[in-house]
Amino acid sequence: MPPILALHEVSKIYSREGGAPLHALRDVTCAIAGGERVAIIGRSGSGKSTLLHLAAGIDVPTTGRIEALGRDLAAMSERERTLHRRDHVGLVFQFFHLLPHLTVLENVVLPDLIAGGRAADHDPRALELLGRVGLRDRAADPVQKLSGGEMQRVAICRALLRRPRLLLADEPTGNLDDETGRQVMDLLLDLSRTEGSTLVFVTHDVDLARLADRRFRIHSGVLEPA
């Protein structure tokens, strides 16, 4: 089977006015198989978030090629990458990115609303996911009433709503205390496995990275097995 995600000598260079170009990624090559749970370890500014943005098709590489689900992301138009991300990729962020004026349930079904669907069509799926993370009884609550750990669980449910084949998580525990972060990470790993999603997560926490099937370390834009 072809890999779910493959990077071939990928580099990303940002120009800086009045300064030397910033090499965020340098000739990164790796392949991730379906069902794998992969951790990328690195400090702030090491290039790990840039790598996830490229994997999601939010940005395109300066050089090299990225294949996701067998398609070359750089060969797609911006609209095609947006649709690819909507239909096949789930994203989890450090700062949750929930809408505070919506309820818990409304935040979970938001991807389907953006896709032009009716929220009610996905309520059963959303409620099932909320039940699996222990928040079904909070579905009608305003999301701002939740704790940080609860908000991240809602964000995970939202990312899984459309059954993505690829789940990308950018420091998913970075805004949580150690105990809550471990609970959220355990949930993310368990749900990605039971949902059949390939998981790639970036973290600075070596202990959390050890929970993955495979680990990479990134430093100054260079990716190496850890």
pLDDT digits (tens, 9 = 90+) for 61-88: 999 999 999 999 989 999 999 999 988 9
Q: Which of the pair, 152 or 44, is modelled with greater confidence?
A: 152
SS3 state at 165 = coil
d(CA 19, CA 62): 18
Confidence band (pLDDT; 50, 70, 90) for 117?
low
Tokens (6 digits) for 201: 């997560």
Query: 30 and 226 in contact (C-beta within 8 Å)?
Result: no
What does pTM read for this prediction? 0.92
SS3 state at 6 = strand
Asked if residue 202 has pLDDT above 90, the reply is yes
Q: Which amino acid is at 67?
A: E
Report the mean per-residue pLDDT for the chain.
91
Residue 119: the pLDDT is 58
d(CA 82, CA 104): 25
Residue 58: the pLDDT is 92
Matching CATH number, 5-69+76-225, of 2.30.31.70, 3.30.70.660, 3.20.20.150, 3.40.50.300: 3.40.50.300
Model confidence pLDDT, tens digit, residues 131-185: 999 999 999 999 999 999 999 899 999 999 889 999 999 998 888 888 988 998 9
Between the alpha carbon of residue 41 and those of residues 62, 109, 118, the distances in Å are 23, 31, 39
The H or E element spanning position 15 is strand 5-16
Q: Could you give phi then psi for residue 142, rounded to 5 degrees?
A: -60, 140
Q: Which amino acid is at 131?
A: G
d(CA 49, CA 63): 17
SS3 state at 51 = helix
Asked if residue 113 has pLDDT above 80, the reply is no
Taking alpha carbons only, the member of 216, 170, 222 closest to residue 25 is: 222
